[in-house]
Amino acid sequence: MAAPSPTDPWLERWLPMVVAHADGTAILELGCGSGRDTRTLAAAGLPVVGIDLSAEAIEEARARVPAAEFHCRDIREPFPLAAGTVGVVVASLSLHYFNWPETMALVERIHRQLRPGGLLLCRLNSTRDFHHGARRDLEAGADNFYLVDGFPKRFFDRAAIDRLFASGWRVLSADEQVVERYQQPKALWEVILERQDP
């Protein structure tokens, strides 16, 4: 696992690839929150369409990145862009709230949203994320999906990542990291994938 990063500038190193794959089209950001990553993308000259469930977060994101387009909705609802037209989808710590069938269905929808060869950049909770709800006491083979402070939350190991992206994806990078994004260090997987057609 990589050493903690003090500012969590995760998107910067992927920007050349993101710009190339976006090819002038809008980036779809799932779970944009208050616009932290949106600002990084917009500063690189990229148009962004962000989605988040929190109206408060969307309000903050609009104030932070007025040039971006934002939608307050559940990411399981229809996306605001036409299927097959998006070059890049960003989903940082937003795919972990759902049971396995819903998670699989969401990943399949993201696949359909992307153009052939399009990129998905996602970050997923690690099963080693003990400061943020991962449990050491789960038996081998457990689903790693349970309530954390009353909210459903999933944690991923490499086997779960391989299972989630087994069909229609080429994994370009999958690194387990520790980042200094919150008050306590956070363990996560940073996964970069390219849409492949069968």
Which pTM value belongs to this model?
0.92
pLDDT reported for residue 3:
43
**Facing residues of 91 across strands?**
122
Do residues 193 and 120 make contact, with C-beta atoms less than 8 angstroms apart?
yes
pLDDT tops 50 at residue 4: no
SS3 94: coil
Asked whether the predicted pLDDT for residue 44 surpasses 50, the reply is yes
Write out pLDDT tens, residues 107-126.
Answer: 999 999 999 999 999 999 99
Q: How confident is the model at residue 141, as a pLDDT?
A: 54
How confident is the model over 112-164, as pLDDT tens digits?
999 999 999 999 999 988 877 788 776 555 689 888 888 899 999 999 999 99
State mean pLDDT over 98-108: 96
CA distances from 165 to 21, 107, 111, 147 (A): 19, 8, 10, 24
Mean pLDDT of 12-33: 95
